[in-house]
Amino acid sequence: MSHGNTGAASDMRVAQSDIDLFRHLENNLYTAVVSDALDELGFWDRAMADHLRPLVPSVRFAGWARTISCMDVHHVDGDPYAIEIEAVDSILPGEVVVVSTGGSRRNAPWGELLSTAAMARGARGAIIDGLVRDVTRIQRLGFPVFAAGIKPVDSKGRGLVMAYNVPVECGAVLVSPRDLIFADFDGVLAIPAAAIEPAIRLATEKALRENQSRDELRKGAYLRDVYKKYGVL
β-pair partners for 61: 183
CB of 190 closer than 8 Å to CB of 48: yes
Candidate list 97, 135, 181, 207; residue touching a copy of itself; CB under 8 A: 135
Query: Is residue 78 within 8 Å of residue 141, measured between CB atoms?
Result: no
Would you give the DSSP letter of residue 30? -
d(CA 120, CA 95): 12
CB of 12 to a copy of itself, least distance (A): 14
Write out the H or E segment, with its range, that includes residue 113.
helix 112-121
* Nearer to a copy of itself (CB atom), residue 21 or residue 175: 175
* Closer residue to a copy of itself, CB minimum distance, 131 or 195: 131
Do 96 and 126 touch, CB atoms closer than 8 A?
yes
Neighbours of 56 (CB within 10 A): 13
142 binds a copy of itself (CB under 8 A): no
- Residue 117: CB minimum distance to a copy of itself, A: 5
Residues between 193 and 232 that touch a copy of itself (CB under 8 A): 210, 213-214, 217-224, 226-227, 232
Nearer to a copy of itself, 17 or 73 (CB): 73
Contact 124, 96 (CB under 8 A): yes
Q: Fill in the per-residue mask, 66 to 95: x = in contact with a copy of itself (CB under 8 A), - = not in contact.
A: ---x-xxxxx-x---x--xxx-xx------
99 vs 131, beta carbon nearer a copy of itself: 131
Q: How far is the CB of 93 from a copy of itself (least distance, A)?
A: 12
Which residues 3-62 are close enough to bind a copy of itself by CB under 8 A?
A: 30-32, 34-36, 39, 44, 47-51, 53, 57
179-198: contacts with a copy of itself (CB under 8 A): 184-187, 189
CB of residue 204 vs a copy of itself: minimum separation in angstroms? Answer: 16
Pick from 61, 134, 179, 190: which binds a copy of itself (CB under 8 A)? 134
**Residues sharing a CB contact under 8 Å with residue 173, sequence separation 6 or more, in sequence order:** 45, 46, 47, 48, 49, 190
Nearer to a copy of itself, 17 or 27 (CB): 27
Contact 168, 12 (CB under 8 A): no
CB atoms within 10 A of CB 6: 22
Could you tell me whether strands 145-150 and 53-54 are parallel, antiparallel, or unpaired per DSSP bridges?
antiparallel
CB of 153 to a copy of itself, least distance (A): 5
